[in-house]
Amino acid sequence: MKAALPVVAALALLACLLPFLLLSAYNHPSTDDYCQCIRVHDAPARGETRLEALTARARRTYRTWGGRYVTHVAHALCPIAFDRWDWYRLSSVAICLLFLAALFFLARTANRFLLHAPAGTLFAGAAGLAIVSFARLPAAADGFFWHSGYMAHTFPLVTSLFLCAALIRFFRAETGRGRIASFLLLLLCLFLSVGGDEMAMTITLFLAASVFLIARWEGRVGNGYLAVLLAVAAGSAALEILAPGNAAMIATAGCASVDRSLLPVLSRAIRLAADRTSSWI
């Protein structure tokens, strides 16, 4: 029975994943996909480089819409900005496979350094989590088919999974080179996660603060690394929370007399983070 468990898990995962992959062949942009990348698409016609257009678009969105600095750039780089409709369809396949890769990488890392379960059991457990994730998606279109949706929600989840794996590897790395590699991966995933959405920002800040305090309490080595990690997490969160676009969105929503100071900016970011985190839980 144990020998058959990985086979059953693989077949179940394939049956769950296959419809997503097949539907990607019929995927098509919609709504925000067009308006988010139109400036990058039209850049050559205006005598502007795509990099200049991307920078201007991301800066404007940061000032007028919100603080998700990674998501703003990702939205402007939608494949249709380069007239690559085939890339748009392939990107749905890519985000599905990337999510699976992040999930299995975290499971493998946790098993290698913490759990030490049999390989078949590990695969079956990770496959089960993946099946639940795909089957229980609140909105499959947002999660894997709509570029504006999955870059704002699924991609930050992917980077958060890689972040957790890198955190485990950092604590368990036996060599200086392995510790440095894990730390660099940590910093990259942290910056991408915090700039993705408010839920990822909340989880990342909680992880960074928790591991720093625990390591300091237990007197473990590597506190300097963790202090830098916490500082980068706090700085990245400040970059998102203090975005002028947060206050601008509050005013646009009907609060004409809003004071564009720190308080409304913080309140919107905290409210969004609480809503996203509670829905995830």
Burial of 125 (0-12, 13-18, 19+ CB in 10 A): middle
Return the pLDDT at 256.
43
Return the pLDDT at 101.
92
Return the pLDDT at 259.
46
Return the pLDDT at 138.
61
Is residue 159 within 8 A of residue 196, CB to CB? The reply is yes
Is residue 247 within 8 A of residue 264, CB to CB? The reply is yes
Q: How many whole angstroms separate alpha carbon 80 and alpha carbon 240?
A: 27
Q: DSSP class of residue 175?
A: S
Return the pLDDT at 260.
46
pLDDT in tens, the chain (281 residues): 566 777 888 888 888 888 888 888 888 888 788 888 888 888 888 888 888 888 888 888 888 888 888 988 888 888 888 888 888 889 888 998 999 999 999 998 888 888 888 888 888 888 888 888 777 666 666 678 888 888 888 898 899 889 888 888 887 766 677 778 888 888 998 999 888 887 888 888 888 888 888 777 776 655 678 888 889 989 998 888 888 887 777 666 554 444 444 555 556 656 666 665 566 55
Q: How many whole angstroms separate alpha carbon 246 and alpha carbon 269?
A: 7
Q: Is 99 helix (H, G, I), strand (E, B) or coil?
A: helix
Q: How many whole angstroms separate alpha carbon 233 and alpha carbon 245?
A: 20
The alpha-helical segments, DSSP class H, found in the chain are: 5-23, 32-41, 50-64, 69-76, 85-110, 119-135, 140, 147-150, 154-172, 176-194, 198-218, 223-241, 244-252, 262-280
Q: Which of 159, 211, 153 is nearest to 185 (CA)?
A: 159
Q: How many whole angstroms separate alpha carbon 229 and alpha carbon 194?
A: 12
Q: DSSP class of residue 182?
A: H
Q: How many whole angstroms separate alpha carbon 25 and alpha carbon 168?
A: 37
Return the pLDDT at 278.
62
Return the pLDDT at 258.
43
Q: Could you tell me the two tokens for 53?
A: 């257009």
Q: Could you tell me the two tokens for 8?
A: 């059953």
Q: Angle, to 10 degrees, between the axis of helix 85-110 and the axis of helix 5-23?
A: 160
